[in-house]
Amino acid sequence: MGIHQFFMSMNDLERIIRCPGRFKFEEHNVAAHSWKVSQYAMFFATIEENNGATINWKSLYEKTINHDFAEIFIGDIKTPVKHASPELKQMLSHVEEKMMEKFILDEIPTEFQPIFFDRMKEGKDETIEGKLLELADKLDQVYESFAELKRGNTDPEFIHMYEIALTKILHLPLEKSIHYFREVMLKDIMEEDSSIDVKAITLKILAQ
Amino acid sequence: MGIHQFFMSMNDLERIIRCPGRFKFEEHNVAAHSWKVSQYAMFFATIEENNGATINWKSLYEKTINHDFAEIFIGDIKTPVKHASPELKQMLSHVEEKMMEKFILDEIPTEFQPIFFDRMKEGKDETIEGKLLELADKLDQVYESFAELKRGNTDPEFIHMYEIALTKILHLPLEKSIHYFREVMLKDIMEEDSSIDVKAITLKILAQ
Amino acid sequence: MGIHQFFMSMNDLERIIRCPGRFKFEEHNVAAHSWKVSQYAMFFATIEENNGATINWKSLYEKTINHDFAEIFIGDIKTPVKHASPELKQMLSHVEEKMMEKFILDEIPTEFQPIFFDRMKEGKDETIEGKLLELADKLDQVYESFAELKRGNTDPEFIHMYEIALTKILHLPLEKSIHYFREVMLKDIMEEDSSIDVKAITLKILAQ
Amino acid sequence: MGIHQFFMSMNDLERIIRCPGRFKFEEHNVAAHSWKVSQYAMFFATIEENNGATINWKSLYEKTINHDFAEIFIGDIKTPVKHASPELKQMLSHVEEKMMEKFILDEIPTEFQPIFFDRMKEGKDETIEGKLLELADKLDQVYESFAELKRGNTDPEFIHMYEIALTKILHLPLEKSIHYFREVMLKDIMEEDSSIDVKAITLKILAQ
Amino acid sequence: MGIHQFFMSMNDLERIIRCPGRFKFEEHNVAAHSWKVSQYAMFFATIEENNGATINWKSLYEKTINHDFAEIFIGDIKTPVKHASPELKQMLSHVEEKMMEKFILDEIPTEFQPIFFDRMKEGKDETIEGKLLELADKLDQVYESFAELKRGNTDPEFIHMYEIALTKILHLPLEKSIHYFREVMLKDIMEEDSSIDVKAITLKILAQ
Amino acid sequence: MGIHQFFMSMNDLERIIRCPGRFKFEEHNVAAHSWKVSQYAMFFATIEENNGATINWKSLYEKTINHDFAEIFIGDIKTPVKHASPELKQMLSHVEEKMMEKFILDEIPTEFQPIFFDRMKEGKDETIEGKLLELADKLDQVYESFAELKRGNTDPEFIHMYEIALTKILHLPLEKSIHYFREVMLKDIMEEDSSIDVKAITLKILAQ
């Protein structure tokens, strides 16, 4: 019914746990995840900018902090959806979109509705900011699964998550960022002590 | 991959929190909820049996312990869905059903698949056991929201939940059970100390 | 004071933690445990029924969901008691029984007292349902300890728990169920990745 | 098996929750409780000493930090036991004592056994240190229940706990300490904002 | 030792709890707080931009997501410091600054050090972005304390926090934002049900 | 404003977590830590007394239960401070001292202020009780880090903590206590199963 309600609803994202239902040594909420994504994206945007790209910082800021807002409606369900069909995945995206639409029409004052429709739409588009969001979002999956594997979580879900997210990152069309990630950061990741052999998993992916 | 995998997946329901995203003084997981539902249903089935009804205890047992198993796929999302359209609600049920189907075909040995398809289907049908499940499931919403209101949770969501669940119970075609609930138990509920005035809310519903 | 009080007291079992005092990577409450036991028992009862046994489903339902209700009085204390003498164990059972008796006389309406005395009595008797309860209860100890060992819990208590529960299961007079457990499920258990070598522990027990 | 095992077992008391099974806004473990008791006791012993009493500080130190050590065996069960009979209460004390005895004989090196038998015996005796322990232990019940009542916990258990503990304190034969508690501290307690009317409850007890 | 270490350290902020030591019905970590601050700031920056101001979105993005990074060193200690002297407050700021400096020199690659020194410095300067950060940071204190007061937290600390943060907001030189906050949002806040009378507290502040 | 406020503030130490910000499989609060320190100190004081030393039990009691009280002001920050300079460490000690002073002057009745100034001052002095406090405090760091290493925590911080605390203990001028610790207890520690090779780390330290 207004911006106050919108601000209060942000608190809900502190209670939405990522990867719900799986055993994790450490839980992460969607609010904290959004902050980490905004940090990763800022770093890689800096690399791109230093290498001559033009960054629309307002757009990157909007995309990163809003990209998971729709999870206040049905939570974080991507992992089990991956086990289901693309058709189901699409149906769920559609449900989320419709709920977001309904939320903006019901809760946001008319004067701000166009801005919210713009900010809350899917951010992973073909712009450089959309690609940086994709990189940052996948990087947080890499770090979340890496942390579980380091501590000895034997749930194969986290190996899958690490493999899929890492593979997607390595194929992203952000040459300078991916180069830095692969040549510098991935080496540091592989050097860390880890209960489950993350180095071997990483080398296998790099070899593909 | 087998019954071992099915048994392991039950552990996931201990990590699925009911009413996710809302502030609650006390959280409840879906496994514990299922146990409470099986207790409520047994009590009211006893009342119905004592009054001449025939209870299929195997069916009641199956219905109560399995009724929320599908929440391992997309969690407990009913509350926000209530704010959305019936069309979206139906789409989500369809998604859940498809995932359950896929799970049984992928994980349960062929010899047990017919039994699982039967047990995991929607239990709230027109049989007396289906109605007892509906009563028990709504009663747990009454108790969960009552506990929050007693302790002073001012989120209007819990008043809604209490009102809607109580109204549904009072209209269920289980004459003896509802009589006992209304004449005995509801009076005890209204006599409890409560931060938020549950007695007034209840009397308003009874007056309708 | 009535059924309402009885239903409210069920909430207490969501706060009673199994194996209190020991370090665990994941805690389990008695309500969720009771639900898992009712699921395991239903599965093995189905196997027995498919092989010609007659199952009293009402009795199995009653036994499984009520078997740990008395833990609302003194919690889950079996583990430390195992370190003590059988005499102390018997004294504690006696205390629990007396408290249950007092609870029924004080809280349950007279008309329902006979039913509650019947349902709340020790369920692990010589009937097939009593044996299925014993199997299901021990199986949850197997799964709880297995989950800790997988994740690298070095507390020897969990190795003891696994060994003792598994040994008891293998000696239960439920031929078809134990055959299925030993030949199918235990093989799946041994194939899982585990920080502590559960396969070796299992093979040693099978060899005895 | 040795002092190392004894020191490791102390960690268990950090996982034993006081008043298990009841809903509380804030949980307290037995280790932290023991520390608070040792603080309260030191303060009142100072008052007594300042008024001419002789305090055996070594004894007070031993009594306060060890008084709940036996809870590693069967946890904190006093509250439900109070609802049961004195006979059951006595049986449980006996069980606890036997377990403590067994623990010392099994785990503590022979050279230290006499010291441990002395330190681990019931501390609430007729010495001034025993009375100070009783005062301090009851005072922590007053503070634990007061904190729940302040925050609006409507469970009548906490009103009982407050009333019983406060009444016991007011009748303790520690004239100077009780005078200070009644004339100074209790007035501060009654002046605090509280959801549930602690002042009225307190005045009723003082009037008796 | 590199950007990987910097990214890993961000996880630490998910474990730093705001207002440590005080009782809260709900805890907030610094990572989630930073995300909420970045959301509030974006909204008010939009209002300012719509009213003719020029916003440096890159700067606002940097300021909001980094403003509490230094809390990885000594946590969130402002509340108790407010009870102490300004001199101590200044000493602590100095300690934090020195640790931040040391962290950048030790952990961040030389090529990125100038950027990090710039981003990690105190953000609440005299620019419009600095003022928007101040507004957003104080607004989160308003929301955190408001949520506690709504639920009946009687700790006077939260009334203080609400009063001080609200007063600071009302005096910020951001005319359009503060106008919107005061005339629209604050009215919605005062209309909410609340255990502790937030409306009265708010009106008293507005009257000053 | 009085002893009641002082007793209430003790509750805050149950909410101050040791080693904040680092991932731990198990958290410890400062209240429970203080209790464990008082237990270790009593044991080693007994060894010293049995070997002819004179123990001031009142002093030891005071020192152990009060040694971390000042953490109610700025929490447990020693770990990150170790990464910083001795100068910063000293500045923080000074801040803590000033806050303690202010607290006593503001909250403690005048008649008790001299006692509190005495009890709350740094306890690790050159007396035998001061050395026993140092031993006990370091021993709890040994046990806390050992527990993390046993369970597979790969954060190198816990190896550092174990090494530094153990080294300090081995050099303490408490001949009999250290002899017992080294010859008896450390051998038991090295014999425990541990995910990370604590035996090797320990032997390396002993060899220095």
pLDDT tens track for A70-129: 888 878 775 656 556 677 778 778 888 888 998 999 889 999 999 999 999 889 999 999
Smallest Cβ–Cβ distance between D34 and the set F5, F10, F35 belongs to: F35
> CA of D188, closest CA in chain C: separation in Å?
33
Q: What is the mean pLDDT of residues D62-79?
A: 86
Q: What tens digit of pLDDT does each residue of C119-147 get?
A: 999 899 999 999 999 999 999 999 999 99
- Residue D55 to residue D60: CA distance in whole angstroms: 8
Instruction: Pull the structure tokens for residue C12.
Output: 């207490």
Question: According to the 3-state scheme, what is the secondary structure of D121-186?
Answer: CCCCCCCHHHHHHHHHHHHHHHHHHHHHHHCCCCCHHHHHHHHHHHHHHHCCCCHHHHHHHHHHHH
Q: Please say if the pLDDT value at position F208 is more than 90.
A: no
Neighbours of chain B (3+ CB pairs under 8 A): A, C, D, E
* Structural element, H or E, at residue C199: helix C198-207
Nearest 5°: the CA angle B91, B92, B98 is 90
pTM: 0.95
The whole-number pLDDT of residue F41 equals 98
E152 → chain B, closest CA residue = B152
**Backbone φ/ψ region at B58: left (φ over 0), alpha (ψ -120 to 50), beta:** alpha
What's the Cα-to-Cα distance from C178 to each of C33, C51, C53, C175, E127, rounded to whole Å?
Answer: 21, 13, 14, 5, 74
Element (H, E) at C202: helix C198-207
pLDDT score of C97: 87
The shortest C-alpha distance from D115 to chain F (Å) reads 9
pLDDT over 90 for what percent of chain E?
80
Percent of chain A with pLDDT over 90: 80
Q: Which pLDDT tens digit goes with each residue over C5-58?
A: 999 999 999 999 999 999 999 999 999 999 999 999 999 999 999 999 999 999
Q: If you measure CA to CA, which chain F residue comes closest to D35?
A: F35
Query: Tokens 């027995």 appear where?
Result: C48
Q: How many CB pairs under 8 A join D and F?
A: 113
Q: ipTM score here?
A: 0.95
Looking at residue E97, its pLDDT comes to: 87
F16 secondary structure, DSSP code: P
Phi, psi (rounded to 5 degrees) for F41: -60, -40
The answer to whether A61 touches E57, Cβ cutoff 8 Å, is yes
- Quote the CA–CA distance of D9 and D3 in Å, as a whole number: 10
Which letter does DSSP use for residue B76 in this model? S
pLDDT at E81: 62
Contact A73 B91 (CB under 8 A): no
F140: closest CA among F49, F2, F20, F39?
A: F39
Q: What is the pLDDT of residue D160?
A: 94
Nearest CB to A147; choose among E5, E11, E189: E11
**Residue pair D160/D104 in contact by the 8 Å Cβ criterion:** no
Rg (CA), chain A: 18
pLDDT at B159: 96
Chain D contact residues (CB < 8 Å to B): 23, 25, 152-154, 156, 195
Predicted local confidence at residue F93, as pLDDT = 81
Give residue A89's pLDDT.
77
Task: Output DSSP code: residue F184.
Answer: I
| pLDDT tens digit sequence for D176-188 | 999 999 999 999 9
Which is higher by pLDDT, A7 or D94?
A7
Q: What is the pLDDT of residue C57?
A: 98
| Closest residue, chain D, to C85 (C-alpha) | D99
Q: Chain F residues with CB inside 8 Å of D62's CB?
A: 42
* Residue C116 · residue C158 · CB < 8 Å: no
Q: How far is CA D112 from the centre of its chain?
A: 26
Q: What is the pLDDT of residues F138-163, one digit of tens each?
A: 999 999 999 999 999 999 999 999 99
Q: Chain B: which residues have CB within 8 Å of chain D?
A: 25-26, 147, 150-152, 192-195
Burial B66-105 (b: 16+ CB within 10 A, else e): bbbbbbbbbbbbebbbeebeeebeebbeebbebbbeebbe
pLDDT digit string, tens, across residues D131-160: 999 999 999 999 999 999 999 999 999 999
Structure confidence at residue B83 (pLDDT): 58
CB-side neighbour CA atoms (13 Å) of A196: 24
Instruction: With beta carbons under 8 A apart, name residues in chain D contacting B26.
Output: 23
Strand-pairing partners, residue B29, are B17
* F154 to A25: CB separation less than 8 angstroms, yes or no: no
pLDDT for D21-33, tens place per residue?
A: 999 999 999 999 9
Q: How many residues belong to chain A?
A: 208
Q: Which of B99-108, B138-147, C74-83 has the lowest mean pLDDT?
A: C74-83
Residue E91, pLDDT score? 78
Residue F173 has pLDDT above 70, yes or no: yes
* Residue in chain E nearest F85 by alpha carbon: E99
Chains F, C in contact, 3 or more Cβ pairs below 8 Å: yes
Please write the tens of the pLDDT for every residue from A16-28.
Answer: 999 999 999 999 9
pLDDT for E45 equals: 98
The answer to whether the beta carbons of residues F58 and F127 sit under 8 Å apart is no
- What the block records as the tokens of A44 is 């890689």
Q: Write out pLDDT tens, residues F67-122.
A: 999 888 878 775 656 556 677 778 778 888 888 998 999 889 999 999 999 999 98
- Helix, strand, coil in percent for chain C, rounding step 5: 70, 0, 25
Q: What is the pLDDT of residue E84?
A: 66
Listed as own residue / partner, the contacts of B45-48 with beta carbons closer than 8 Å and 24 or more positions apart are B45/B129, B45/B132, B46/C112, B46/C115, B47/B176, B47/B177, B47/B180, B48/B128, B48/B132, B48/B174, B48/B176, B48/B177
B106, with CB counted inside 10 A (0-12, 13-18, 19+), is: exposed
What is the tens place of the pLDDT at every residue in C59-90?
999 999 999 998 888 787 756 565 566 777 78
Identify the CA nearest to A150 among candidates A136, A138, A132, A162. A162
Question: For residue A156, is pLDDT > 70?
Answer: yes
- Which DSSP string corresponds to A152-175? T---HHHHHHHHHHHHHHHTSS-H
Candidates B15, B79, B97: best to mutate against A (most CBs of A within 10 A) is B15
- Neighbouring CB atoms inside 10 A of E205's CB total 16
Give the confidence band of B82 by pLDDT, cuts at 50, 70, 90: low
pLDDT of residue A203: 97
Q: Which residues of chain E have pLDDT under 70?
A: 1, 78-85
pLDDT at residue D122, as a whole number: 87
**Given an 8 Å threshold on Cβ–Cβ distance, is F195 in contact with C153?**
no
Residues in chain E closer than 8 A to F85 (CB atoms): 98, 102
User: What pLDDT is stored for residue A171 in this prediction?
Assistant: 98
Contact: C25, F25; criterion CB under 8 Å = yes
Q: Interior CA angle at D84 toward D81 and D85, to 5°?
A: 110
Q: Which residue of D has its CA nearest to E22?
A: D26
